[in-house]
Structure 1
Amino acid sequence: MGSSSSFWNRASREAMKSGVFVAKIYCFLHVTTNYFGFAGYSYGPSMIPTFRPSGNIYLAERISKRSQEPIRGDVVVLRSPEDPNKTPIKRVIGIEGDCISFVTDPRNNDTSKTVVVPKGHVFVQGDYTHNSRDSRTFGTIPYGLIQGRVFWRVWPFEDFGPLGPTPT
C-alpha cells in the first residue's frame, strides 16, 4: 500500500506542475496576443502588390499609439463591419477630417463620390482597387474596429522584412 500511495502522490505533484506550466503558457500567449501583437495570415487579391494573393504571414502590433490611431499609408488589420468573423487587411487612405474622393466602382464605371472622414474614424482601401471591399463599399471605419498595425512580412521568405507606411 505504501508504494501505491507514493505513486499517486508523485503523479499528482507532476500533474500539478504540468497544469501550472500550461496555465503560465496560456496566460503568456493571451497577454501577448491581446495587448502586444499577433501573427496573422492574409490571402486574396485586394492588397496586390503589397501582399500576394496566394497567402502571406505577417506580424501586427497593438502596443503603439499608431496601432490604435494609424497614419495615412499604414496597413491595418480590422474587424469587418460587414462580418465580425472576418479580419481583412487594408491600407489607411484617410484619417479624421480628410476629404476623400474616390471612384465607387472602378470595374464598371467612373462615377465618383466624396466623403469627409468623421472624428474617430479612418478611410481604408485595398491596394488593388479593382478587386477590394473597403470603405468605398462599407464606409469609414471607427478606431475601435482596428485590431492592429501590420509592421512585418514573415512569409513567403522572398518578402521577409518590415512593412512601413506607403505614401497614398
Structure 2
Amino acid sequence: MTFALILILLILLTGVIWLMDRFLLRAKRPAGVNEPWWVEYAKSFFPVILIVFLLRSFLVEPFKIPSGSMIPTLHVGDFILVNRFTYGLRIPIINKKIVDINQPQRGDVMVFQYPEDPSVDYIKRVVGVPGDQLVYRDKKLWINGELQVQQRDGDYNYVESELRFVHTERYKENLGGKTHAILLNPDMPLVHLGNVAEFPLHEQCSYSDMEVRCTVPPGHYFMMGDNRDNSRDSRYWGFVPDDMIVGKAFLIWMNFNELGRVGLSIK
C-alpha cells in the first residue's frame, strides 16, 4: 500500500468522524460532557493529514537516495525534495496528468515509478526524450547523431555498502547544453547483456558488445544513472512512460552522514 493511499484512508476516516460529530453526535451529547477521545483525535489530525497529503501530491515530496547509481550527483543517504508540479499536476494514486505544465528535458534528474515494479520509486537522469535516437558506444553518448562531449575531471573513489572500495574516473558531460558529472569505470563493460530484460517496446533498441542503440518512443523517456557502470537503468529495463513520472529532483535537504551536503541544489 502506497503512502498516498494510506493518507487518503486516514483523511476519509478522520473526516467522517469529524462530520458525524458535527452533525449527529454533538447534539446527542449531554451538556458539560467532553467529546470522546477518538473524536478529539480525529478533529485534530484531519487538517494536518489533509495538508500533508496536498503538499506531497501537488507540490513537494521527500525522497531518500537508496543506492549509489547517481553518484557523484547524489550520495547514498541523501534526503531530497522532488517538485511534483514541474511536469504537470496529476491525480494522486492513479498518477493521471490533469494539467500539463512542462515536459522533462535532457539533463533533468527525475523521480519516476520503476517500470518493473511501479510500487517502487526510482531516480535517474533524463538522457533521451520522445523521438531521440540514442547511441551509447565507447562509454559515450550520441543523441540524434551528435556526440555529447565528455571532459576528464580526475579520479573518483568511493566505498559501497559492503565496504568494497571502488575506483572510477570522473567526467564532466554536456547533455543538451547542461553540464553534469558522471563516473565511468574502465574495467566494466558497456552493458551486461545477460541482464537486459524483455521490456515493452524492446524492438526500439538493439544491443551488441560494442553499443546500445535506441529510438525513444512517443510519450516515453530514456533514463541513465550518473554512475554509469553501476546503474540499472533504461539500458536494462527500457523506457519510462509519461504516466509513471513523479517529479523533478531539485534540492538535498538532509544527509545525516554528510552534513555539508545539506542545502545543495541538484543539477
How high is the TM-score relative to the length of structure 2? 0.53
Q: Which residue of 1 aligns with 2:160?
A: none
For residue 129 of structure 1, the aligned residue among 219, 228, 232 is: 228
Closer, same or farther: CA 97–107 of 1 in aligned 2, 3 Å: closer
Checking the alignment, whether the CA contact within 8 Å between 1:102 and 1:136 is kept in structure 2 is no
Amino acid at match of 1:10: N
Q: Which residue of 2 aligns with 1:158?
A: 260
Amino acid at match of 1:121: H
Percent identity between the two aligned chains: 28
Closer, same or farther: CA 70–89 of 1 in aligned 2, 3 Å: same
Aligned length in residues: 157
Structure whose residues are more often strand by fraction: 2
Map 1:1-16; keep pairs closer than 5 Å: 9-12=33-36, 16=39
Cα distance in 2 for partners of 1:120, 1:107 equals 25
C-alpha displacement of 1:21: 2.1
Matched, 1:114 2:198: no
For residue 145 of structure 1, the aligned residue among 226, 244, 250 is: 244
Matched, 1:33 2:56: yes
User: 2:119 is paired with a residue of what secondary structure?
Assistant: coil
For residue 50 of structure 1, the aligned residue among 57, 61, 73 is: 73
> 1:33-73 CA deviation, whole Å, 9 max, x = no partner?
111121110121211101113x1100001112378621111
Q: Which of 73-82 and 15-24 deviates more?
A: 15-24
Structure whose residues are more often helix by fraction: 1
Q: Which residue of 2 aligns with 1:19?
A: 42
Q: Which residue of 2 aligns with 1:74?
A: 108
Cα distance in 2 for partners of 1:137, 1:77 equals 17
Cα distance in 2 for partners of 1:45, 1:17 equals 45
Higher relative contact order (CA 8 A, sep 6+): 1
Checking the alignment, whether the CA contact within 8 Å between 1:68 and 1:143 is kept in structure 2 is no
Checking the alignment, whether the CA contact within 8 Å between 2:108 and 2:126 is kept in structure 1 is yes
Amino acid at match of 1:116: T
Q: Which of 151-160 and 91-100 deviates more?
A: 151-160
C-alpha displacement of 1:15: 5.3
> Structure 1 regions of 5+ residues with no counterpart?
none
How high is the TM-score relative to the length of structure 1? 0.82
For residue 85 of structure 2, the aligned residue among 63, 68, 73 is: 63
For residue 129 of structure 2, the aligned residue among 82, 87, 95 is: 95
Cα distance in 1 for partners of 2:112, 2:87 equals 15
